[in-house]
Structure 1
Amino acid sequence: MTKITVLGATGFAGSSIAKEAASRGHEVTVVSRSAADLAGTRAVQGSVLDSAVLADALDGAEVVVGSLSPRGDMAGQVRGAYAKVAEQLAGADARLIIVGGFGSMLAEDGSRIADGPGFPDAFKAEAQELFSVLEALRAGEGVRWTYVSPAADFGSYIPDQTRRGEYRKGGDVPFFDADGKSAISGADFAIGVVDEIEAAAHVGEHISFAY
């Protein structure tokens, strides 16, 4: 059993990861501004920008999963929030797993997907903020981190949320299925993340999950 804290636990990715981790018998603490009601977890209500809330949430954690979304009043705040988390974890055995975005990944020519002509303008600021988190992790020292990107089609807006119990794991260049699609359900992405929590196979790496 691992003591896991999930930041942003009422979001699409965060709630899926918390549920998967709890179902495997891990001790899960969920943190959100609204009262999270996830079976088998301990809830900490409040903002991760509040130092007291963050200290309570991280107390005793062996793995911290960051699933914060840089939208609404968290726009422009996510990198700073993760910097505070990293500061508390620096030099410790605890690991930090960040749920990033598809835009942080690289095209075949090495350019960042979010900088490509086909990337939606509406999501560029969000993608840049999540990428800045990855840059900060790479530049920092003393934190055992893993940065995880989902497929292009990922989120509550995707109709097919079937739990297949399978996924493919890649690096920072995306792969596609036989139909040319990059997709994964919340449940199967969560399986991949919790598998990484348990295996610690990619510390200091940017990885991705898709079908």
Structure 2
Amino acid sequence: MNIGIIGATGKAGKLITQEALNRGHKVTAIVRNSSKVDTPEVSVVEKDIFDITAEDLAPYEVVVNAFGSFEGEPYVQAGHVLIPALQKIDTKMIVVGGAASLFVDEDKTTRLIDTPEFPDAYKPMAGGMAKLLTQLEQAEGITWTFLSPAAMFDPDGPKTGSYETGKDHLMMNKKGDSYISYPDYAIAVLDEIENPQHVNERFTIVGEAE
């Protein structure tokens, strides 16, 4: 498949890029700074996410949005740019989302971000990601998937190739931890690209740490 990856030089973006290459897909990095792309087999488009157009995304069957920010508003702004662009074309978007919008109770009244132990420092970023999810849920005429990681999203974790999926609730592994490594998250992204199971909805994953 022909896959575009926005934010391909970030921690998650790099691993998703490599996983896609390992599976034989054609990959284009859509990045703000092309000098940071150090993978020769990847094509590069240098463009800020807020300047992306429908014409930029049209060549790809799937675009992975791995854009990241410590502030919340950029996620909302990105949604205002990407959703109208996608409405004009047939490209699907998969979003590297956050865990904060996952529910922690069966009645779906309390999200992870609302719990006392959620760090204040991450609330702006988490709130922005949650708003982007709402934008996607309310949008018409696009095909999207939003993948929320577990609460502990470990950039240095192992690649086990194993994970379990859920929908809107925070999941725990056998040890009682909400954990997923970046490499296993990348596997889940490519599994969803190759075999879509969560069209126009959010899902989440949990894995085991070695």
Q: TM-score scaled to structure 2, two decimals?
A: 0.90
Contact 1:29–1:57 under 8 Å retained in 2: no
Cα RMSD between the aligned structures?
1.7
In structure 2, what is the equivalent of residue 196 of structure 1? 192
In structure 1, what is the equivalent of residue 172 of structure 2? 176
Aligned: 1:15 with 2:11: no
Contact 1:107–1:113 under 8 Å retained in 2: yes
In structure 2, what is the equivalent of residue 104 of structure 1? 101
Gaps (5+ residues) in structure 1?
A: none
Deviation at 1:102, TM superposition (A): 0.8
Task: Write out per-residue CA displacement over residues 39-58 of structure 1, whole angstroms, 9 at most, x where no aligned residue.
Answer: 4211122311224xx56642
Amino acid at match of 2:119: P
Superposed structure 1 runs of 4+ greater than 6 Å apart: none
After superposing the two structures, state which structure 1 stretch, 179-188 or 40-49, moved more.
40-49
**Structure 2 CA distance for aligned equivalents of residues 172 and 208 of structure 1:** 7
Decide whether aligned partners of structure 1 residues 186 and 57 sit closer, same or farther in structure 2, where only a CA change above 3 A counts: farther
After superposing the two structures, state which structure 1 stretch, 174-183 or 56-65, moved more.
56-65
In structure 2, what is the equivalent of residue 58 of structure 1? 57
Task: Give the fraction of aligned pairs with identical amino acids, expressed as a percent.
Answer: 36
Decide whether aligned partners of structure 1 residues 142 and 62 sit closer, same or farther in structure 2, where only a CA change above 3 A counts: same
**Structure 1 CA distance for aligned equivalents of residues 56 and 169 of structure 2:** 33
In structure 2, what is the equivalent of residue 120 of structure 1? 119
**Structure 2 CA distance for aligned equivalents of residues 178 and 8 of structure 1:** 32
**Structure 2 CA distance for aligned equivalents of residues 61 and 149 of structure 1:** 23
Contact 1:32–1:45 under 8 Å retained in 2: yes
Deviation at 1:208, TM superposition (A): 0.8
Amino acid at match of 2:123: K
Aligned: 1:210 with 2:209: no
Deviation at 1:33, TM superposition (A): 2.0
Deviation at 1:155, TM superposition (A): 3.8
In structure 2, what is the equivalent of residue 76 of structure 1? 73
**Structure 1 CA distance for aligned equivalents of residues 24 and 145 of structure 2:** 22
